[in-house]
Amino acid sequence: MTDRRSLLANDRVAASELEGSIAAPAYVEGEWRRVVVPVADLLAAPEGARDRQLLYGQRMRVLEVREGWAFGAAARDGYVGYVAAGSLGDDVAATHRVAVPATHLYPVPDLRRRERAWLSFGSELRVVSASGEFFETAEGLFVPKPHLRPLNAQFADPVTVAQLFFGVPYLWGGNSAAGIDCSGLVQAACLAAGIDCPGDTDLQEAALGETLAPGVPPARGDVYFWNGHVALAVDGETLIHANARTMAVTYEPIAGAIARIEAQGEGPVTRRARLAAG
């Protein structure tokens, strides 16, 4: 219980369920909030480094708001950190999520009108009505119908989700179609397919799938881990991954990637796993 990424406590408050397990000045239940901006950085500390990102409509359990920063944990994976308090709003239950690489929010159901905001794959919204080819959200904004799926509708294949991000620029700690890193890509793919998935590579290596023995032929959806990197197999010969070599989500031959990464001094594959169905 010492990993700050999962320990829902700081110097002032701790989650109520931790009482008796750790010492804290106060134990609180907190309250659920939702992100109301397209992308919110989840930081290690106020004004600190970005660990991950939360997307529009995603939930966060907030224990404390102090000096403009909300401290809490993301609902999707329990990742603990700080987000700008102004990026959070009321916990309005979502009904749909963005199921294409990106979409826009419009002030009226007319694609010729100037958009109000851009939203990434995985963003969550509450649909209250329909108007022609658009859904209306609880905020009175409009989204093209083909861009949304019901919240409980899962993708059958995580690799298909990863392929939606092809060409997206690499961004350390990124979780959106504007910028994503290797673990963000794997998490987006897994969560959309109903597979629980932590946010960082080391946590994913410890949690995902069934370890494959050396010599087992690669298959679509296999997860390859290195020290600090992760990729998904598209087929028996090709990976898809967000990588700093190309600064984008790209395909790369499996054998070539393994040889290149080891030659760079980052070591061999540390684990290969086969994902279970979501």
Q: Cβ distance 70 to 82 under 8 Å?
A: yes
Q: Cβ distance 172 to 232 under 8 Å?
A: no
Instruction: Give the pair of three-digit tokens for residue 231.
Output: 């990729």
pLDDT of residue 155: 97
Q: What is the three-class DSSP state of 259?
A: helix
Q: 194-203 as b/e, with b when 16 or more CB fall inside 10 Å?
A: ebebbbbbbb
pLDDT of residue 133: 97
Instruction: Give the pair of three-digit tokens for residue 218.
Output: 């690669």
d(CA 196, CA 67): 33
Give the global pTM.
0.96
Q: What is the mean pLDDT of each run of 10 residues along the chain (278 residues)?
A: 92 97 97 98 98 98 98 98 98 98 98 97 98 96 98 96 98 98 98 98 98 96 97 98 97 98 95 87
pLDDT of residue 276: 82
Query: Nearest Cα to 161, choosing from 200, 187, 183?
Result: 187
Largest CA distance in the chain: 58
d(CA 185, CA 11): 32
Q: Fill in the amino acid letter for 70.
A: A
pLDDT of residue 278: 60
pLDDT of residue 19: 97
Q: What is the three-class DSSP state of 85?
A: helix
Q: What is the three-class DSSP state of 173?
A: coil
pLDDT of residue 1: 63
